[in-house]
Structure 1
Amino acid sequence: MTSPQPSELTTRWACAEDLPRIRDLMQTAIDTLQASWLTPEQVAASHHLMGLDTQLIADGTYLLAEIDGQLAGCGGWSYRATLYGGDHSAALRDPATLDPARDPARIRAMYTHPDFTRRGIARLVLQRCEEAAAAKGFTQAELMATLSGEPLYRACGYVAVEDVEAETAGLTIPFRRMRKAL
Structure 2
Amino acid sequence: MPLPEDIVLAPYRPNDADAVRTLHALAFRRLAAGHHTPAQIAAHEALIAAPDYADDLARSHLVLARHAADGLVATAGWLEFPDRPHTARIRKVFVHPGWARRGLASALVRAAEAAAMQAGYTHLYVRANINAVPLYERLGYVAETAGVMPAAGEELPVVYMSRRAF
In which range does the TM-score fall when normalised by the shorter chain?
0.7 to 0.9
RMSD: 2.4
For structure 1, the 5+ residue unaligned runs are: 1-5, 82-97
- How far apart, CA to CA, are the structure 1 residues paired with 2:155 and 2:59? 31
Change (3 A) 1:27 1:142: same
- Whichever residue aligns with residue 19 of structure 1, its letter is A
Q: Quick check: which has more Rg, 1 or 2?
A: 1
Is the counterpart of residue 71 in structure 1 residue 72 in structure 2? Answer: yes
Counterpart Cα distance in 2 of 1:138 and 1:16 = 25
Give yes or no for contact 2:25–2:48 (8 Å, CA) kept in 1: no
Maintained 8 Å contact 1:56/1:78:
no
TM-score, normalization by structure 2: 0.84
Structure 2 distance, partners of 1:128, 1:45, is 29
In the alignment, structure 2 segments of 5+ residues that lack a partner are none
1:147 maps to amino acid: I
CA distance in structure 2 between the partners assigned to 1:138 and 1:9 by the alignment: 27
Structure whose residues are more often helix by fraction: 2
How far 1:169 sits from its partner (Å)?
Answer: 4.6
How high is the TM-score relative to the length of structure 1? Answer: 0.78
What is the number of residues matched between the two proteins? 159
The one-letter amino acid paired with 1:25 is L
Q: Sequence identity, in percent?
A: 30
Cα deviation for residue 59 of structure 1 reads 4.2
Equivalence map 1:17-166=2 (5 Å)? 17-49=15-47, 53-55=53-55, 57-59=57-59, 61-68=61-68, 70-79=71-80, 81=81, 98=82, 102-166=85-149
Q: Which amino acid is the alignment partner of residue 46 of structure 1?
A: H
